[in-house]
A and B are shown apart, each in its own frame.
Chain A
Amino acid sequence: MYGYEFYIDPSRCIGCRSCLQACEECETHRGKSMINFDFIERRESITSAAYVCWHCDEPTCAQVCPADAIKKGEDGIVHSSLKPRCIACSNCVLACPFGIPKMMEPEQQMMKCDMCYDRTSAGKRPMCATVCPSGALLYAKPEVVAHTRRETPTNVFYFGSQRITTKVFMMAPAERDFLSIDVEDYMLEENDVRFATA
């Protein structure tokens, strides 16, 4: 829809998984949800986060696809791989910095969130944003978000030295212009207690 943007706020996620259920109901991939749902530090907390595809401006998945199967449309949506072309090599699965694409085994095709293209191209909102009770996944106009949220939406991410701009926004602390995500920060140290068994 024109004028609407997608906003992800993981801090609002309550783990109800309505988005997963709603996404599954899409006719084109019934039974398979395209939402990436994570539990954060499940051993210690109940924090959960739900993500959709960020639809990057220069999608890494599309750039590494050897079969030219992933396309970004004029409206900015990065689509699932084209079935006639996808060779199920999982290059995109490995390449995406956000870890979004899923390789569907029986179909041998990469599928991922396409912003409910059949809905958004017809003036409706994506399923997940429609059902999310807490507003963790939100499809709204930027003015509404600026008016109702304390956080600032950002669509600039740094992965190490790689700068990525996206179509989907993530809510970040108000003083931040971008989010920097370094894989090393999230890797466990050798002497981490979580490695202990029994």
Chain B
Amino acid sequence: MFGLRRPSASSSKEPLWREEFSIFTADERYVGRRQMTKFLTLTSLSMFAGNLWLLGRAAFSKDRPAYPAVKVATAGEIPVGGVKLFQYDNDQCILVRTGETSYAAYSQKCTHLSCAVYYAKEKNRLECPCHEGYFSILDGSVLQGPPTRPLPKVTLEQRGSDLVAVGMTGGAEPGT
């Protein structure tokens, strides 16, 4: 059984286990590399699948429902440089009074790993304590640190003496 097959025969169809556990050291090196290549190709496939999943989510996401209008605070409720935390669209948000009549509100979830950002008054910026990511108070863009995306900004409207949150920009989808 073993010797009858001529060594020089082409297209020798050995069972798979004989190929994978070859008695020839030269073949062993091939097997190791071949398995590595197969693994790398599968990794590539999985990353492509990741991109496809994102594509699917983007393509089949529902039409955006309107953001609700939610009263956040009254004018004068917080002092200049003070903050107020509030819930908007299932998200924890932070309202900052940057000046006498100017306010800014952002999602409090740091875009890096979702730690809660706080307002650093002396530096006039939003800071994430976990990995020292800093965001601009003006538009939520990243000043330094590991975050890659700006902080989602809450659109504020003044209706009478009330501050109303009417939307959010820079986030992925409402309701997520």
Q: Is residue B160 within 8 Å, beta carbon to beta carbon, of the partner chain?
A: no
Q: A57-B7, A58-B7 are in contact. Are A162 and B23 (CB under 8 A)?
A: no
Q: Which A-chain residue is minimally distant from B23 (CB atoms)? A: A62
Q: A58-B2, A60-B2 are in contact. Are A74 and B25 (CB under 8 A)?
A: yes
A63 to B4, CA, bound (A): 13
Q: Is residue B24 within 8 Å, beta carbon to beta carbon, of the partner chain?
A: yes
Chain B window 27-46, contacts with chain A (Cβ cutoff 8 Å), 1 for yes, 0 for no: 01000000000000000000
Q: Is residue B64 within 8 Å, beta carbon to beta carbon, of the partner chain?
A: no
Contact of B4 with A163 in the complex, beta carbons under 8 Å: yes
B17 CB → nearest A CB, Å: 10
The size class of the interface chain B forms with chain A is: 10 to 19
A131 to B7, CA, bound (A): 33
Contact of A60 among B3, B5, B7, B24 (CB under 8 A): B3
Contact of A74 among B5, B7, B26 (CB under 8 A): B26
Q: Is residue B48 within 8 Å, beta carbon to beta carbon, of the partner chain?
A: no
Q: Is residue A59 within 8 Å, beta carbon to beta carbon, of the partner chain?
A: yes
Question: Of the 9-residue stretches A17-25, A65-73, A175-183, which lies at the interface with chain B?
Answer: A65-73
Q: Which residues of A contact B25 (CB under 8 A)?
A: 71-74
Chain B window 1-28, contacts with chain A (Cβ cutoff 8 Å), 1 for yes, 0 for no: 1111111000000000000010111101
B157 CB → nearest A CB, Å: 74
Contact of A164 with B26 in the complex, beta carbons under 8 Å: no
B125 CB → nearest A CB, Å: 60
Q: Is residue A165 within 8 Å, beta carbon to beta carbon, of the partner chain?
A: yes
Contact of B21 with A58 in the complex, beta carbons under 8 Å: no
Q: Which B-chain residue is minimally distant from A157 (CB atoms)? A: B3
Chain A window 165-191, contacts with chain B (Cβ cutoff 8 Å), 1 for yes, 0 for no: 100000000000000000000000000
Q: Which A-chain residue is minimally distant from B7 (CB atoms)? A: A57
Contact of B23 with A165 in the complex, beta carbons under 8 Å: no
Contact of B7 with A162 in the complex, beta carbons under 8 Å: no
Contact of A58 with B3 in the complex, beta carbons under 8 Å: yes
A162 to B4, CA, bound (A): 6
Q: Which residues of A contact B24 (CB under 8 A)?
A: 71-74
A165 to B4, CA, bound (A): 10
Contact of B26 with A161 in the complex, beta carbons under 8 Å: no
B10 CB → nearest A CB, Å: 15
A74 to B30, CA, bound (A): 12
Q: Which B-chain residue is minimally distant from A160 (CB atoms)? A: B3
Q: Which A-chain residue is minimally distant from B28 (CB atoms)? A: A71
Q: Which residues of B contact A161 (CB under 8 A)?
A: 4
A68 to B20, CA, bound (A): 11
A58 to B22, CA, bound (A): 11
Q: Which residues of A contact B26 (CB under 8 A)?
A: 73-74
Contact of A162 with B3 in the complex, beta carbons under 8 Å: yes
Q: Which residues of A contact B1 (CB under 8 A)?
A: 162
Q: Which residues of B contact A163 (CB under 8 A)?
A: 3-4, 6
A58, A62, A161 interface centre (most CB from chain B within 10 Å):
A58
Top 4 closest pairs, chain A to chain B, by CB: A62-B23, A162-B3, A74-B26, A164-B3
CB pairs A–B below 8 angstroms (10 shown): A58-B5, A58-B7, A63-B2, A63-B23, A65-B23, A68-B23, A72-B24, A162-B1, A162-B2, A165-B7
Since A60-B3, A62-B23, A72-B24 are in contact, a sample of 10 more A-B pairs with Cβ atoms closer than 8 Å, ordered by chain A residue number, is A58-B3, A58-B5, A59-B23, A63-B23, A71-B24, A71-B25, A71-B28, A74-B26, A162-B2, A162-B4
